Amino acid sequence: MYCNYEGGVHDPTIIDHQGDFYLFSTDTNQPLTAGIPIRKSKDLVNWKFIGTVFNGVPTEAKQWSNAQGLWAPEVIKYNNIFRLYYSASTFGSTVSMIGLAESNSPEGPWRDKGEVIKTSPQLSQHNAIDANVVLDKNQEMWIVYGSFFGGIYIAPLNKETGKLKDNSFGTLIARRPKSVDTAIEGAFILYNECFDYYYLFASFDSLNDTYNIRVGRSKNIKGPYVDLLGNKMVQDETPEKVGVKLLGSYQFQNENAIFAPGHNSILSFENTYYLVHHARLQPFSDQFILNIRKIYWLSNGWPVVSIKNITGFEERPITDSKKIVGNWNMIELNYGSEIVTSTNIEITQDELIQIRNNEYKYGSKIFKVFSLNGSHQEIILSGLNKNGLAFFGKKSFIERYSI
């Protein structure tokens, strides 16, 4: 199996600029940084560490939060200026601050612009970390943020300053109850013009071992966000069943396990969306790695993601249903947080229905199928079942291409 995981990456976000990709992530000890590491790549596969945004935690953020490093950066470009939103906090605390920095280049130098949002037990019941900045379909700018301790909020930004439009903390759009430790964070909103929906991605459960990525959608950027079954992302009942589950811990036969995929951002490049997130090779370890996966859209208006971390191989749509029939090694996610191991499942021609192009229906499941153009050919599929739980499959075959 071909893998090129970039190690030491946590809470990643990527921006492209003049033929290069720039990766920003949480401070870790891989390498040891305290001011947001920056990596650079030509192909999204091979990365080079090129420095940090700051030489340490900015003074205002340090004095407010006592942060030893910065978390979960968000980078956007507006009017030829790059804006970077950073989170300053300590684990288990709501004494937190989202700050802003600006630069003429992703490589810096970066100028700290100070506070965007501050929280503490005296000011609020939620937490100012994990910023995501999004433009709605009317080109109004919003900040999405929050975590455990109160949920996910959205607030309007002044596009010219990049800071809050008013003094409000905004509107609650997602929350989980105390029965699951209020475990939600790392939110990201994407607007899909084709379906005219806003999609709210968020990470559930513990980043150390049980992280998993869920998504809900809404016609209004302020919600309400619901999943495929109509469950609201703000609710206190059956919290484990809320949200379309895109990714969780899994292991295919004869391959290394992927644990706790989460805290995603989304890269849009050349008409393709990529889910950018971290995962772990072992639970409760510092073996966290970068994952970049293509996002595909089903005809029902919901996203699925490739089971393959990006490798440089092209994923070609499979429109010949005969190639799909046969034995598959399959991962089928469930509502739980434990790791899911693959099983062998046979797809027969009798129940297979081709919806369009490379999208198929098998029983109550819908999915898309692709091949990889490496020398060892492999068909892969990604789909959703009727409950909004993702499944993935692999099927090997050899096919010769003329040169």
* Residues identified as active-site: 11, 185
* Maximal CA-CA distance, the chain: 68
- 29 burial type by CB count under 10 A (0-12 exposed, 13-18 middle, 19+ buried): exposed
Cβ atoms of 15 and 22 within 8 Å: the answer is yes
Q: Rounded to whole angstroms, how far apart are CA atoms 57 and 67?
A: 7
E-state strands within 248-338: 250-251, 259-269, 272-280, 288-297, 303-305, 315-317, 326-332
Q: Rounded to whole angstroms, how far apart are CA atoms 128 and 164?
A: 13
Distances (CA, A) of 87 to 41, 71, 133, 147: 24, 5, 13, 12
Q: For residue 308, what are its two tokens? A: 């393959």
- Residue 321 phi/psi, 5-degree rounding, is -65, -25
328: which strand partners?
Answer: 345
Q: Rounded to whole angstroms, how far apart are CA atoms 244 and 384?
A: 9
Residues shown for the chain: 403
- Is the sign of the CA dihedral 227, 230, 234, 235 positive or negative? negative
